[in-house]
Amino acid sequence: MKPCYNIALAEPRHLKALAGIELLAGTMLRGHAPASVLGETTPVNELREAQVEGRLWVALRNDTPVGFALVEMLGKSNPHLQEIDVLPEHGRRGLGTALLQAVFEWIRFSGYPEITLTTFREIPWNMPFYSRLGFEEILVDELRAELKTIVKKEASYGLDPKKRVVMRRWAGAI
């Protein structure tokens, strides 16, 4: 029997499980990201704020979180995909795509012009995955101040900006 999955807005009871998902999903990035980055998790207060504001979705298997997508707001009208993680044992089943589809529906409903993200340029399951879903690279000289700040912050954590890419998907493509 196939596992039963569904995507839903996160509820307060889901928050406790997300740090574990984030850490286990991070194991897929060993050798690509510094251990210090892979050992960090999103603070619970950020998750709680996003949950309250409807910017946090979970992939559930039989009502247990196995993945999540977190959107942060860069100013009032610039949503940015801060995090998307799926437990490795639940990977390659379309959960990342399903989480992003929920985010896209939210973007469309909310009337935002685009959503942005940063990801690894050279990892086969990162940039190509987002490209297949309609994201396009934003050239460095076209970055808004908020996105430049994110790139600098990531560099301060040890992520090489040359190995990262900033991408966007226009709401019209959603």
Domain locations in the chain as residue ranges = 5-173
User: Do residues 56 and 9 make contact, with C-beta atoms less than 8 angstroms apart?
Assistant: yes
| 90 vs 98: CA distance, rounded Å | 13
pLDDT of the chain, 174 residues: tens digit per residue:
466 899 999 999 999 999 999 999 999 999 999 998 999 999 999 999 999 999 999 999 999 999 999 999 998 999 999 999 999 999 999 999 999 999 999 999 999 999 999 999 999 889 999 999 999 999 999 999 999 999 999 999 999 999 999 999 998 765
User: Do residues 164 and 157 make contact, with C-beta atoms less than 8 angstroms apart?
Assistant: no
| 174 vs 154: CA distance, rounded Å | 27
Dihedral-angle region of residue 63 (phi above 0 means left; psi in -120 to 50 means alpha; beta otherwise): left
Q: Which CATH number fits domain 5-173: 3.40.630.30, 2.60.40.1150, 3.30.930.10, 3.40.50.300?
A: 3.40.630.30
Kindly report, residue by residue over 103-151, the tens digit of the pLDDT: 999 999 999 999 999 999 999 889 999 999 999 999 999 999 999 999 9
| 133 vs 21: CA distance, rounded Å | 23
